[in-house]
Amino acid sequence: MNIHGFETVDSLPCLYQPDTDILIVSDLHLGLEGTMTSDGNYVPRHQLKGIKEDIEEARDLTEASRILINGDMKNEFKTRYSETREIEKLLKFLENLFKEVIVVKGNHDTFLESTLKKFGIELKDHHLENRTLFIHGDREIEELQTDGFDKIVIGHEHPALILKDDIGVREKIPCFLYGKTAEDERITVLPAFSNISKGTGINEVPENQLLSPIIKNRTDKDNLKAVGVSREAGLFKFPKLKKI
């Protein structure tokens, strides 16, 4: 399925841009199990294994030579030793799969520069290529003082749809969002690549409770369209959010 010139990759929560040969993922939140366990909710450590399997599958399907992580590679605002070890394991894995690894900084990516430096990777505030601006989404675009783009790709929001059946059973499914900004740029919002992070029920949350200032201030959220993505069930195309 094509979204603003990006291709969905089977039923995985990532996109591929053929023109630049980049596989794009966002919000891995490595170390999230440790955070949840310290909060009193024990979660076995299995996320890294699943992320590696999904990235390798996406690479095999697209034959991408480059990967871009669009923010929040890690979860802790501080850094645990176990989290740093997971990041190093992932970077070593990516180094063997791809010719180039691009990492855009998210709001959780504190104390990450020194680990990336070991692998010769720069932590970037944003990445601009082929008139596409990749930015995590936790800050206003105006703060970047950059131009020359007509497409925007963000993460941060972890968009998901709340769906209800005829008897009132509710289900939450991650989704891509896409549409246009007030400045007529094409915007795409990635779901979290982490399979255990919570999503924002984007079709129910009030606009003033949105996480991303880019969605909140630069778009009419209700006029964005959605593509639901389930690793088990596949892709589901939806109309504008105001019609769901």
CATH number assigned to the domain comprising residue 92? 3.60.21
In this predicted structure, the answer to whether residue 29 has a pLDDT above a threshold of 70 is yes
pLDDT band with cut points at 50, 70 and 90 for residue 42: very low
pLDDT band with cut points at 50, 70 and 90 for residue 38: low
The total of structural domains in the chain comes to 1
In this predicted structure, the answer to whether residue 145 has a pLDDT above a threshold of 60 is yes
Residue 182 domain boundaries: 2-243
| pLDDT value at residue 167 | 73
With beta carbons less than 8 A apart as the criterion, state whether 37 and 80 touch.
Answer: no
The per-residue pLDDT of the chain, averaged, comes to 92
| Region 137-145 average pLDDT | 92
Q: What pTM does this model have?
A: 0.93
In this predicted structure, the answer to whether residue 158 has a pLDDT above a threshold of 90 is yes
DSSP letter assigned to residue 74: B
| pLDDT value at residue 120 | 97
| Region 185-201 average pLDDT | 92
Q: Give the residue carrying structure tokens 């790709």.
A: 153
Q: Give the residue carrying structure tokens 């606009």.
A: 207
* Closest to 154 in 3D by CA, of 110, 119, 185, 183: 185
Q: Give the residue carrying structure tokens 């880019």.
A: 214
| pLDDT value at residue 44 | 45
Please, what is the end-to-end C-alpha distance for the chain in angstroms? Answer: 20
Computed over its alpha carbons, how large is the radius of gyration of the chain?
17
| Region 10-21 average pLDDT | 98
| pLDDT value at residue 60 | 98
In this predicted structure, the answer to whether residue 202 has a pLDDT above a threshold of 50 is yes
Q: 184 is written with which tokens?
A: 């007529």
The pairing of beta strand 12-17 with beta strand 200-201:
unpaired
